[in-house]
Structure 1
Amino acid sequence: MSGAPPPAGQAAPPPPPNNTVYIRNLEESIKIDELSELLRELFSQYGKVLDVVAKKNLKAKGQAFVVFETVDAATQAIKEVQGFSLHSKPMVLQYARTKSDATVKQFGSPEEFELHKRRRMAEKERKQALAAAEAQKSLKRAAVAAPAASSADRPVKRPLKSTNRSDGHAIPDEYLPPNKVLFLQNLPHDIGADALSSIFGQYPGFKEVRMVPGRKGIAFVEYETNEGAISAKENTAGMQLGEQTIKVTYQRQ
């Protein structure tokens, strides 16, 4: 669920009316449970509240989402609560940019809800991977900018690899930047290349499935472009095959 404005220089049209209200400029010192209760009590007077979402992580602090049963209730709440002070801070309200879990679960089919969750998780992983790649670039720039030390002063450092942090530990699979090859894990041991091809061959630029001789439960899927791999990953992350939930990440470069 997203409501925050786009980064500077990337203007986007305001989100269309929907039943989820995005709130920012909330007092960050309020405990999450207390904040959720306050928001539910405040907004319930405008209509039935399906869910209140407020997160603990630093990036999301001071923000929350209130999910109403109807668009009219959300519209009325935005109109009347805009600028209302909660703990001496005026709240800023707008419609959320994406559908909430509660909305899709109530008004969509079980299949739509599962697809919505997979896409949301894939988008989260994509952003984490891009952030990790940017952090890695920053480390490389810092290493290049630092004065070169003489070999007499200290040992020569080995160059950083694209998927390693400066402390020598590998970046987790979930944070790897996108590329054309997907790495599949936790596969049923009896699944073969044909079955996987029927699943991953639906996405643009599919080239092949590569099983690993002597190793069960893993495989690689290659596409012609990064875009094809990204599309496949977004739509298959968390997919259930038999009794197992498969893990889909990008191949480590």
Structure 2
Amino acid sequence: MVDIQTKPPHSTLYVSNINEAISKTKLSYVLNRIFGRYGEVVDVRVRRSLKMKGQAFVTYKDARSCEKALSKLQGRPVFKKPIHIVYAHFASDKCLELNQELEELNKRKEQRNKKQEEETKIASEMLHQKQLSSKTPEVTESQLKLWKLLPPHKVLLLQNLTSESLESSFIEEAFDGFAGFEKVRLIKFRKLAFIDFDLESQATQCLKDIDASKFGAEALLTYAKK
């Protein structure tokens, strides 16, 4: 049993030791229902990247609800694994928004954007250097036309990956923010990866929004064949 503080620091809880085999969508739904018994849940964040697997953040509208959840749900089995709950080190974005802490929220967003820009710049420089030494075979017009004519599918196919992007963690980070993202199935020797989503519509939205060039100048992202 954790030591519940007299004054809750904020309304965001960090939940760990979650069964990693459960889909993101299903887990979000179940956590929302379980934690919703002890107060109004305004946000549930489940991360599926390699670094964040088995972890989630739950934000309540009222910080006092955290006390109830801590005392009632600590060690409770969820999908056959006892979950561990503590206050998150930092309040979630949703928590800051509810408390009108807009200055801190904007500061946090700026830091994230700056970090992303730096990572993109480094990746671009590495890609440029790689292209100078060995160019990835180009996709022919006929191949491109063929792949783009494939019918919608909840699985996407990412082809012509560069050596720098042939890491599951790198690809997972790129897709993790999209709704319904499930997992990456990387096939290194073929320089391709299958990207699984819960629903076909979610895969379609990702296909429209993501910039595939981050995986290489010749990278091709399409629906996978059914």
Report the TM-score range of the alignment, normalised by the length of the smaller protein: 0.3 to 0.5
Larger radius of gyration: 1
- Structure with greater helix share of residues: 2
TM-score of the pair, normalised by structure 2? 0.47
TM-score of the pair, normalised by structure 1? 0.43
Higher relative contact order (CA 8 A, sep 6+): 2
